[in-house]
């Protein structure tokens, strides 16, 4: 028991200082009055204010709708990946990591350029049907938020549900058919109960991501009418400088998200247990299904999903090679890439992102690895509570984390806000749960006989950990490092709260360029950011780590 406690000492100190203490400052700020006494007055006033009640209600409502759409879009894909083998299946499986490696600011940029009034889709429809006005006016509305959230999150449903669905042996359904169950009745009575833990687990995670969404709502919402908790907390902290109300509102959002984080952890445990109990089997080729009555539906589904996933990203890259050559005219050019790599603010933003990403890996990888090892090896009363505390940053938005840094360290002699290490610490807190998620799955799968054999040869706890279990988890740790780097270079929420003019990153620069309607420059910076994410994507795919 002493060895796990020693391993926990360093991570516990780091999290106490750079996560729990800032989070506690937000909690105290929301639960105290102006004189510093414990009081619910601020929260009570907030919950009676129609303006904030509307924001809270809209935040939950859009998260519910986004989750339902993501589940509906993801279930057919989960079925195809679970039940059939086909060319390109590994690529599609790899694409389900998109929500974890593609920054939300890229999603925003891609949707503006593809679905905007002057975007690719509307210009194509206007040319085909001779229209004088855009046929699809979706930007700066609830529809835009829902579409972006669904695109960004339905791969999570595909990944989680398919990993459980593929373990359901066909003989189960064949037995049900022999007893007269067919079609929808077969799915409702036999299949759905077995995959329900995976569906609910994916839905809980998607709901958290949609509830805590910031960049998508900030840009695509188009104004106060579609403001959410995250956007309002940012406005209160950075624009109005009202940290007291911002803390109270952040506290309300944290309570809602933590309820669903707890549900996700519990459901994920059920889903993982079900996967371990079921056996794998040989799957038919997809061509056999395409000849069935549902074949055309699934073929159209695959084509539609390819367009929905790839079109916005391809549009961003295509626009990055343009330059204005006259009033309303554009020409193909490498001008923006010359500006980016010739120095100045654009190159500095890229170098800052690389620096923050590298430093985040150096901190998040050992932090997440140690916590994953202790969590997977410890079996004691309260171990589930320990796991919940380790995964807590997933349920706390990075906007709240940034607000916590603003409140916690403003009175310190060494105020870290506006320093490079504040951004690195925040990125580390945001990224390390993904290292835990990947590493703990590998540690749990290791055969108990290996450590027992090493102990019989005289290996101590440290030798066992460092020379046996860490090398066996190498692929998972490479994947975790890639996730940490990708999350850091794409993070915009906490960075907007903590940066100064010398610490601008690529996502912050993209946000600025979008705000000034310089979409070509934003697309060029976005393409550089996508290059970083694509390299992360390749590392994850090669290493074969789990999400």
**Residue % of the chain over a pLDDT of 70:** 87
Dump pLDDT digits (tens) for 328-365: 567 788 888 999 988 889 999 999 999 999 999 999 99
DSSP 3-state percent helix, strand, coil across the chain (nearest 5): 75, 0, 20
Query: Which 3 state secondary structure label does DSSP give 89?
Result: helix
Query: pTM to 2 decimals?
Result: 0.85
**Among the four given CATH numbers 1.10.3720.10, 3.40.50.620, 1.20.1070.10, 3.40.1410.10, the one describing domain 50-170+180-311:** 1.10.3720.10
The CATH number that domain 1-39+335-547 falls under is: 1.10.3720.10
Contacts of 156 (CB under 8 A, 6+ apart): 70, 74, 96, 99, 202, 205, 206, 209
Question: Which of 76 and 282 is assigned the larger pLDDT?
Answer: 76
DSSP 502: G
**Residue % of the chain over a pLDDT of 90:** 25
Chain length of the chain: 547
Burial of residue 228 (CB within 10 Å: 0-12, 13-18, 19+) is: buried
Most confident residue range from 369-373, 401-405, 505-509: 505-509
Question: Which of 194 and 352 is assigned the larger pLDDT?
Answer: 352
Phi, psi of 49 (to 5 degrees): -80, 120
pLDDT value at residue 151 = 83
Region of 418 please: left (phi>0), alpha (psi -120 to 50) or beta.
left
Dump pLDDT digits (tens) for 145-165: 998 898 889 888 988 898 888
pLDDT value at residue 291 = 67
Contacts of 331 (CB under 8 A, 6+ apart): 322, 323, 325
pLDDT value at residue 111 = 85
Assess whether the region 1-39+335-547 and the region 50-170+180-311 belong to the same CATH fold.
Answer: yes
Phi, psi of 325 (to 5 degrees): -110, 0
- For the chain, the domains span 1-39+335-547, 50-170+180-311
The residue whose two tokens read 């429809």 is 125
For residue 69, pLDDT over 90 is answered with yes
End-to-end CA distance of the chain: 29
For residue 425, pLDDT over 90 is answered with yes
pLDDT value at residue 351 = 95
pLDDT value at residue 277 = 45
pLDDT value at residue 270 = 63
For residue 488, pLDDT over 90 is answered with yes
For residue 272, pLDDT over 60 is answered with no
To the nearest whole number, what is the mean pLDDT of the chain? Answer: 83
pLDDT value at residue 437 = 85
Dump pLDDT digits (tens) for 11-53: 889 999 999 999 888 888 888 877 777 778 888 888 899 999 9
């Amino acid at each position: 028991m002493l060895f796990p406690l020693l391993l926990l000492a360093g991570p516990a100190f780091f999290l106490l200082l750079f996560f729990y203490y800032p989070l506690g400052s937000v909690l105290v700020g929301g639960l105290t009055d102006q004189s510093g006494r414990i009081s619910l007055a601020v929260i009570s006033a907030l919950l009676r204010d129609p303006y904030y009640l509307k924001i809270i209600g809209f935040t939950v409502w859009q998260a519910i709708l986004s989750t339902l759409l993501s589940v509906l879009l993801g279930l057919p894909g989960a079925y195809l990946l679970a039940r059939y083998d086909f060319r390109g299946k590994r690529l599609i499986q790899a694409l389900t990591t998109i929500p974890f490696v593609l920054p939300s600011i890229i999603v925003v940029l891609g949707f503006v350029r593809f679905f905007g009034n002057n975007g690719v889709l509307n210009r194509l429809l206007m040319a085909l049907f001779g229209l004088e006005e855009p046929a699809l006016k979706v930007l700066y509305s609830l529809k835009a938020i829902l579409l972006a959230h669904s695109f960004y999150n339905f791969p999570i449903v595909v990944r989680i549900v398919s990993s459980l669905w593929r373990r359901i042996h066909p003989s189960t359904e064949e037995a049900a058919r022999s007893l007269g169950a067919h079609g929808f009745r077969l799915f409702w009575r036999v299949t759905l109960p077995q995959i329900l833990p995976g569906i609910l687990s994916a839905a809980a995670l998607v709901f958290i991501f949609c509830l805590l969404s910031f960049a998508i709502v900030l840009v695509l919402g188009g104004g106060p009418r579609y403001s959410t908790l995250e956007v309002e907390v940012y406005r209160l902290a950075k624009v109005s400088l009202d940290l007291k109300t911002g803390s109270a509102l952040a506290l309300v959002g944290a309570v809602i998200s933590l309820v669903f984080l707890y549900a996700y952890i519990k459901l994920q445990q059920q889903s993982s247990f079900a996967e371990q109990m079921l056996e794998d089997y040989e799957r038919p080729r997809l061509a056999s299904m395409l000849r069935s009555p549902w074949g055309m539906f699934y073929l159209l589904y695959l084509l539609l999903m390819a367009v929905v996933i790839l079109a916005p990203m391809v549009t961003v890259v295509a626009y990055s090679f343009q330059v204005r050559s006259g009033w309303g005219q554009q020409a193909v050019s490498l001008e923006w890439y010359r500006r980016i790599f010739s120095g100045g603010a654009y190159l500095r933003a890229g170098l800052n992102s690389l620096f923050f990403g590298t430093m985040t890996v150096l901190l998040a990888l050992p932090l997440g690895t140690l916590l994953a090892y202790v969590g997977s090896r410890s079996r004691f009363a309260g171990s589930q509570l320990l796991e919940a505390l380790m995964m807590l940053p997933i349920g706390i938005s990075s906007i709240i984390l940034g607000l916590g840094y603003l409140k916690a360290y403003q009175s310190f002699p060494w105020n870290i806000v506006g320093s490079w290490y504040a951004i690195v610490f925040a990125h580390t807190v945001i990224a390390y749960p993904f290292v835990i998620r990947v590493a703990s799955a590998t540690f749990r799968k290791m055969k108990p006989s290996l450590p027992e054999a090493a102990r019989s040869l005289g290996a101590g706890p440290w030798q066992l950990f460092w020379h046996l279990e860490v090398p066996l988890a190498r692929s998972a740790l490479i994947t975790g490092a890639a996730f940490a780097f990708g999350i850091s270079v794409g993070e915009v929420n906490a960075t907007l709260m903590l940066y100064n003019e010398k610490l601008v990153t690529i996502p912050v620069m993209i946000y600025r360029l979008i705000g000034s309607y310089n979409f070509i420059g934003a697309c060029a910076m976005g393409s550089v950011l996508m290059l970083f994410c694509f390299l992360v994507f390749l590392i994850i795919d090669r290493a074969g780590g789990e999400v």
